[in-house]
């Protein structure tokens, strides 16, 4: 196996403290193995979301997914930002993630986006367990997505997600993205965002 391809399989974080192995291994690839996702694995991704925590068990998340080669895949792709279009066609599956904006009593659900995030976190760990990389994308034209997919009023598309098995070839990316893909993963230290007893930032 060449070094470039191995990076796609073993881009493991160097953590300051030991954490669960799947969390260390997780990252957001822009290249994927040229292989369709198994239908059972797709079901497992959404089953993980189904059992994620949500406020009052409202489960406000909604998803549209499509496999490469389908009209729906192209429709999702067309809703992406130009930057994401430069690599997302490498994915065998694309999806849109949305949430229901109001509770069943008609009041705004302040926690709906938080709950969607919890669901996507659960999906991400299930994906990692199955050898699937997810790349969550903020660069999506949600208004266009609403029109194309007839999303009813009261729901909001927040992100798009590219999914595929790890193991893609870096040559599938433009040179600048090849460099980004191979870079060492870095994160802010805990001291930048964790404060004991009182707010200490700045």
The reported pTM is 0.92
For residue 7, is it within any domain? no
For residue 183, is it within any domain? no
Q: What is the tens place of the pLDDT at every residue in 5-41? A: 444 456 788 999 999 999 999 999 999 999 999 999 9
CATH number of the domain to which 108 belongs: 3.40.109.10
Q: What is the tens place of the pLDDT at every residue in 169-190? A: 888 888 888 888 888 888 999 9
For residue 110, is it within any domain? yes
For residue 187, is it within any domain? no
Q: Which of 80, 102, 53 is nearest to 162 (CA)?
A: 80
What is the domain count for the chain?
Answer: 1
For residue 185, is it within any domain? no
Q: Strands of 155-165's sheet, edge to edge?
A: 61-67, 93-100, 155-165, 132-137
Beta-bridge partners for 91: none
For residue 163, is it within any domain? yes
Q: Which domain holds residue 162?
A: 26-168
For residue 31, is it within any domain? yes
């Amino acid at each position: 196996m060449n070094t470039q391809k191995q990076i796609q399989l073993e881009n493991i974080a160097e953590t300051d403290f030991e954490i669960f192995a799947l969390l260390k291994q997780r990252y957001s690839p822009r290249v994927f193995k040229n292989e369709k996702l198994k239908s059972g694995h797709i079901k497992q991704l959404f089953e993980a979301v189904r059992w994620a925590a949500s406020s009052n068990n409202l489960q406000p998340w909604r998803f549209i997914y499509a496999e490469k080669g389908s009209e729906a895949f192209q429709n999702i792709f067309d809703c992406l930002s130009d930057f994401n279009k430069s690599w997302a066609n490498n994915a065998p599956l694309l999806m849109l993630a949305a949430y229901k904006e109001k509770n069943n009593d008609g009041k705004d659900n302040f926690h709906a986006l938080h709950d969607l995030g919890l669901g996507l976190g659960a999906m991400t760990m299930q994906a990692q367990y199955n050898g699937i990389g997810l790349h969550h994308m903020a660069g999506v034209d949600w208004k266009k997505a609403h029109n194309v997919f007839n999303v009813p009023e009261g729901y909001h598309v927040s992100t798009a997600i590219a999914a595929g098995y790890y193991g893609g070839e870096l040559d599938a990316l433009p040179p600048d993205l090849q460099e980004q893909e191979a870079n060492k993963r870095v994160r802010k230290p805990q001291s930048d965002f964790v404060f004991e007893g009182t707010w200490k930032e700045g």
